[in-house]
């Protein structure tokens, strides 16, 4: 650290320089995040010092968190919880705002483990959960932190989890299943209804990772069921900092029943509230304000337009790519496309080196993965297709 403080001017001239190294999402077709909505940014600034780790001191931010959880609960067809005891933890609905999908997934599994070991099940050995092979790498962290065995079920030809494979992996030590509503690589939705049936039959929890899809699926023309409307779904992760257009870090975890929150509770003797059920202690109230503001501002109509816009770009890319012989691995379900191209790794390298496009690659099979986000424009798509053509011709 320097001995004497630098001037504001010196610092900001350095910061602006450094910021120019960031992409600003220009020519980015690989991210599931985007520019936050300007309303979210303003709200974030207004609540910049609010700490949701000490709810009693920040009653305003706490109110906003509750409002957001309520709105998300409505979006995901959760029943409002009337249990008055919930107020002592600072929430009247079942859920809280997390730092993102990773924390939500960790906490959902922690809840499963705590409830299972609290007597619902006798676990002889290491508890396990069954997840799709396509699950996000945050579940590797779950395994590592919690000492839970992760069993990976096969995918079918459409990259949905194969429920027969899930069933074959369930044993006496299985505590829960995971389904993904909008998987990271293909944007595919697992058969949540079938998974829920399996979960109910085997008395297992079912967590739905809708970190990306949660702000997409409800606004599609023909949304498929994936949420609490399906009996058997016990928790859902949904990220406002992805397609919700909120600021980073904004995730959310919702539970069907208050017992989940209870199972995550730790006593906080010297705080203004008696208990905490979050993973982190200090939490951003600014994120709660940002998410509240953008959800209220856009409403269902605004999010529908946002999804329609991204789907138009997605469909355009697929239509044009087909003209030069590149088929998608699946018909896009949401704004994620996996294109079958020759030598995807080399193509990715060349798209970046020659034209500055950031794209990514799916693991198995390897294909060119594109995520069409609100920061992308119709012109971007046209330019990308021209550059893709050039790169293909050279390969």
Binding site for ligand 0PR (CB under 6 A): 31-33, 100-102, 105, 136, 138, 180, 183-184, 209, 211-212, 239, 251
CB of 295 to ligand 0PR, least distance (A): 17
Cis, bond preceding 249 (omega within 30 deg of 0): yes
Residues 6+ apart with CB under 8 A from 304: 219
**What is the nearest approach in angstroms of ligand 0PR to the Cβ of residue 332?**
15
Neighbouring-strand partners of residue 180: 209
Q: How many CB atoms lie within 10 A of CB 120?
A: 14
Nearer to ligand 0PR among residue 81 and residue 295 (C-beta): 295
To 10 degrees, the CA torsion angle through 202, 171, 265, 197? -30
Nearer to ligand 0PR, 93 or 237 (CB): 237
The residue behind tokens 């949420």 is: 227
Cβ atoms of 123 and 175 within 8 Å: the answer is yes
Q: Which residue has the tokens 């109230």?
A: 285
In the complex with ligand 0PR, the residue whose CB is nearer, 121 or 375, is 375
Instruction: Tell which residue, 73, 39, 38, 36, has the closest CA to residue 255.
Output: 73
Measured from the CB atom, the residue of 214 and 232 that comes closer to ligand 0PR is 214
Least CB distance from residue 7 to ligand 0PR, whole Å? 33
CB 93 within 8 A of CB 129: no
From the CB of 6, what's the least distance to ligand 0PR, in Å?
A: 31
- Residue closer to ligand 0PR by CB (options 339, 359) is 359
Select 138 or 263, whichever has its Cβ closest to ligand 0PR.
138
Q: How far is the CB of 344 from ligand 0PR (least distance, A)?
A: 16
Per the structure block, which two tokens stand in for 308? 């329609």
We find the least distance from the C-beta atom of residue 382 to ligand 0PR, in angstroms, to be 23
36 — phi, psi (to 5°)?
-70, 155
Report d(CA 235, CA 95) in Å as an integer. Answer: 9
Nearer to ligand 0PR, 212 or 326 (CB): 212
Minimum CB distance to ligand 0PR, residue 358 (Å) = 8
Q: 374 near 310, Cβ under 8 Å? A: yes
């Amino acid at each position: 650290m320097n001995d004497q403080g630098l001037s504001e001017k010196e610092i900001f001239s350095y910061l602006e320089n450094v910021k120019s190294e960031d992409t600003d999402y220009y020519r980015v077709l690989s991210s599931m995040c985007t520019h936050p909505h300007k309303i979210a940014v303003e709200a974030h600034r207004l609540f910049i010092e609010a700490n949701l780790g000490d709810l009693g001191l920040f009653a305003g931010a706490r109110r906003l968190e509750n409002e957001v959880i309520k709105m998300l609960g409505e979006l995901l067809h959760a029943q409002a919880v009337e249990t008055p005891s919930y107020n002592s933890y600072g929430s009247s609905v079942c859920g809280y705002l997390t730092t993102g999908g990773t924390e939500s997934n960790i906490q959902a599994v922690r809840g499963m483990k705590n409830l299972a070991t609290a007597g619902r099940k006798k676990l002889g050995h290491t508890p396990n959960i069954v997840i799709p092979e396509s699950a996000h790498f945050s579940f590797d962290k779950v395994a590592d932190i919690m000492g839970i065995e992760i069993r990976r079920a096969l995918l079918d030809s459409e990259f949905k989890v194969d429920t027969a494979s899930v069933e074959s992996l369930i044993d006496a030590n299985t505590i829960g299943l995971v389904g993904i509503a909008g998987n990271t690589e293909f944007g595919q939705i697992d058969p949540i209804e079938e998974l829920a049936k399996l979960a109910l039959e085997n008395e297992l929890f079912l967590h739905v990772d809708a970190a990306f899809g949660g702000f997409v699926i409800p606004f599609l023309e023909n949304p498929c069921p994936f949420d609490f409307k399906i009996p058997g779904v016990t928790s859902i992760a949904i990220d406002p900092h992805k397609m919700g257009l909120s600021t980073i870090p904004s995730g959310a975890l919702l539970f069907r029943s208050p017992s989940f929150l209870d199972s995550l509770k730790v006593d906080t003797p010297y705080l203004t509230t008696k208990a905490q059920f979050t993973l982190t202690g200090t939490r951003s109230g600014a994120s709660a304000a940002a998410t509240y503001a953008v959800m209220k501002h856009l409403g269902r109509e605004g999010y529908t337009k946002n999804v329609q816009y991204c789907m138009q770009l997605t469909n355009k890319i697929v239509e044009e790519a087909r003209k030069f012989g590149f088929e998608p691995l699946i018909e896009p379900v949401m704004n994620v496309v996996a294109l079958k191209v020759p030598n995807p790794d080399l193509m990715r390298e060349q798209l970046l080196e020659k034209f500055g496009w950031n794209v990514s690659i799916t693991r198995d099979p390897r294909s060119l993965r594109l995520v069409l986000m609100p920061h992308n424009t119709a012109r971007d798509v046209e330019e990308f297709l021209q550059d893709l053509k050039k790169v293909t011709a050279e390969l």
